[in-house]
Amino acid sequence: MIGDRRLATANIGVGVAAFGIATFMALMQALSRANLDLPWRSAKMYYLSVTGHGVMMALVFTTFFIMGMGVAFTTRALDRPLRLPRIAWAGFWTAVVGSLMALWAIFWGKATVLYTFYPPLQAHWAFYIGLTLLVVGSWLWSAAMLATYTAWRRENRGRPVPLAIHGLLATIIVWLIATVGVAAEMLLQLIPWSLGLTDTVDPLLARMLFWYFGHPLVYFWLIPAYVVWYTVLPKAAGGKLFSDPLARMVFALFILLSTPVGFHHQFMDPGIAAGWKALHTVTTAGILFPSLVTAFTIVASLEVAGRMRGATGLFDWIGKLPWGDPLVASVLLSMLLFAVGGFGGAINAAFGMNAVVHNTAWIQGHFHLTVGTATALTFMGTAYWLVPKLVGRELELGLLARVQPYLWFFGMLLFSIANHITGVMGMPRRVYDAAYGGSAVAAQWEGLTLVSAVGGILLFISASFFLLVMLGTVLAGKRAEQPAIEFAEPLDGPPARTGAFDRLWVWVVAAVVLVVIAYAYPLADHLGMERFGSPGFRPF
Amino acid sequence: MHVHLYERIWMWGAGAIVALFLGATGFAAVSQGRLPPSHVETVDPTTVWSDPRFAERGVTTNPDGSVVVTGIALMFAFQPNEIRVPVNRPVTFRFTSSDVVHGFQIVGTNGNTMIVPGYVSQFTTVFDTPGEYLVVCNEYCGLGHHGMYATLIVEPAP
Q: What pLDDT is recorded for position B66?
A: 94
Say if residues A224 and A278 touch (Cβ distance below 8 Å).
no
Pairing of strands B90-97, B131-136: unpaired
Q: Looking at this protein, which amino acid is placed at residue A281?
A: T
In 3D space, the residue among A396, A430, A116 whose CA is nearest the CA of residue A265 turns out to be: A116
Are B113 and A286 within 8 A, CB to CB?
no
A354 interfaces chain B, CB cutoff of 8 Å:
yes
Whether B2 shows a pLDDT value over 80: the answer reads no
Pairing of strands B112-115, B102-106: antiparallel
Question: By CA distance, what is A350's nearest residue in B?
Answer: B25
Task: With beta carbons under 8 A apart, name residues in chain B contacting A266.
Answer: 114
Q: What pLDDT is recorded for position A371?
A: 95
Q: Average pLDDT for residues B18-29, to the nearest whole number?
A: 91
Say if residues A257 and A283 touch (Cβ distance below 8 Å).
yes
Helix or strand or coil: residue A104?
Answer: helix
Chain-centroid distance of CA A158 in Å reads 32
Phi-psi region of B13 (alpha: psi -120 to 50; beta: other; left: phi over 0): alpha
Q: Which of B8, B18, B25 to mutate to test the interface with A (most CBs of A within 10 A)?
A: B25
- Residue A5, Cβ density class (10 Å: 0-12 exposed, 13-18 middle, ≥19 buried): middle
Task: With beta carbons under 8 A apart, name residues in chain B contacting A292.
Answer: 10, 13-14, 17-18
- B128–chain A nearest CA distance, Å: 17
Task: With beta carbons under 8 A apart, name residues in chain A contacting B78.
Answer: none
Q: What pLDDT is recorded for position A534?
A: 97
Close Cβ partners of A18 (under 8 Å, ≥ 6 residues apart): A56, A57, A60, A61, A64, A99
Q: What pLDDT is recorded for position A417?
A: 96
Rounded Cα distance between A25 and A460, Å, is 10
Are B134 and A288 within 8 A, CB to CB?
no
State the DSSP H helix or E strand holding residue A469, giving kind and residue range, or none if neither.
helix A446-476
Q: Over the Cα atoms of chain B, what is R_g? A: 20
A494 interfaces chain B, CB cutoff of 8 Å:
no
The DSSP string of B2-67 is ---HHHHHHHHHHHHHHHHHHHHHHHHHHHS---------B--GGGTTTSTTTSS-EEEE-TTS-E
Are A118 and B101 within 8 A, CB to CB?
yes
Q: What pLDDT is recorded for position A30?
A: 85
Q: Known catalytic residue: A124?
A: no
Say if residues A290 and A254 touch (Cβ distance below 8 Å).
yes
Q: Known catalytic residue: A415?
A: no
Q: Average pLDDT for residues B132-157, to the nearest whole number?
A: 96
Rounded Cα distance between A457 and A439, Å, is 27
Cis peptide bond N-terminal to A234, omega within 30: no
Task: With beta carbons under 8 A apart, name residues in chain A contacting B119.
Answer: 204, 270-271
Q: Looking at this protein, which amino acid is placed at residue A432?
A: Y
Question: By CA distance, what is A529's nearest residue in B?
Answer: B42
Q: What count of Cα atoms within 13 Å lies in the side-chain half-sphere of residue A95?
A: 32
- Residue A18, Cβ density class (10 Å: 0-12 exposed, 13-18 middle, ≥19 buried): buried
Task: With beta carbons under 8 A apart, name residues in chain A contacting B53.
Answer: none
Q: Which of A124, A368, A393, A526 is catalytic?
A: A368
Say if residues A466 and A429 touch (Cβ distance below 8 Å).
no
Rounded Cα distance between A17 and A54, Å, is 14
pTM of the model: 0.96
Question: By CA distance, what is B109's nearest residue in A?
Answer: A356
Q: Known catalytic residue: A153?
A: no
Q: What pLDDT is recorded for position B33?
A: 81
Rounded Cα distance between B135 and B95, Å, is 13
A257 interfaces chain B, CB cutoff of 8 Å:
no
Q: What pLDDT is recorded for position B1?
A: 65
Q: Which of B116, B123, B132 to mutate to test the interface with A (most CBs of A within 10 A)?
A: B116
Q: How confident is the model over B28-87, as pLDDT tens digits?
A: 888 888 889 999 999 999 999 999 999 999 999 999 999 999 999 999 999 999 999 999
Q: What pLDDT is recorded for position A495?
A: 84
- Cβ density class A187-214: b for 16+ within 10 Å, e for less: eebbbbbbeeeeebbbbbbbbbbbbbbb
Rounded Cα distance between A66 and A61, Å, is 8
Are B4 and A531 within 8 A, CB to CB?
no
A120 interfaces chain B, CB cutoff of 8 Å:
yes
A109 interfaces chain B, CB cutoff of 8 Å:
no
Q: Looking at this protein, which amino acid is placed at residue A171?
A: T
Q: Which of A257, A268, A296, A424 to mutate to test the interface with B (most CBs of B within 10 A)?
A: A268
In 3D space, the residue among A539, A529, A538 whose CA is nearest the CA of residue A202 turns out to be: A529
Rounded Cα distance between A27 and A25, Å, is 5
Close Cβ partners of B99 (under 8 Å, ≥ 6 residues apart): A120, A534, A537, A539, B45, B74, B75, B117, B141
pLDDT means per 10 residues in chain A (540 residues)?
90 97 92 82 93 96 98 95 96 98 97 96 98 98 97 93 96 97 97 97 97 96 97 95 93 95 94 93 92 94 95 93 96 96 90 91 96 97 97 95 98 96 95 92 93 95 97 94 90 85 94 94 94 96
Task: With beta carbons under 8 A apart, name residues in chain A contacting B12.
Answer: none
In 3D space, the residue among B33, B36, B58 whose CA is nearest the CA of residue B110 turns out to be: B36
Q: Is the confidence metric ipTM above 0.90 for this complex? A: yes
Rounded Cα distance between A320 and A238, Å, is 10
Q: What count of Cα atoms within 13 Å lies in the side-chain half-sphere of residue A330?
A: 29
Q: What pLDDT is recorded for position A88?
A: 97
Rounded Cα distance between B13 and B26, Å, is 19
Rounded Cα distance between B108 and B94, Å, is 20
Q: Known catalytic residue: A503?
A: no
Rounded Cα distance between A240 and A494, Å, is 11
Q: Which of A402, A430, A436, A540 is catalytic?
A: A430
Q: What pLDDT is recorded for position A158?
A: 87
Helix or strand or coil: residue A86?
Answer: helix
Q: Known catalytic residue: A248?
A: no
Task: With beta carbons under 8 A apart, name residues in chain B contacting A352.
Answer: 25, 28-29, 32, 34-36
Q: Which of A19, A64, A115, A219 is catalytic?
A: A219
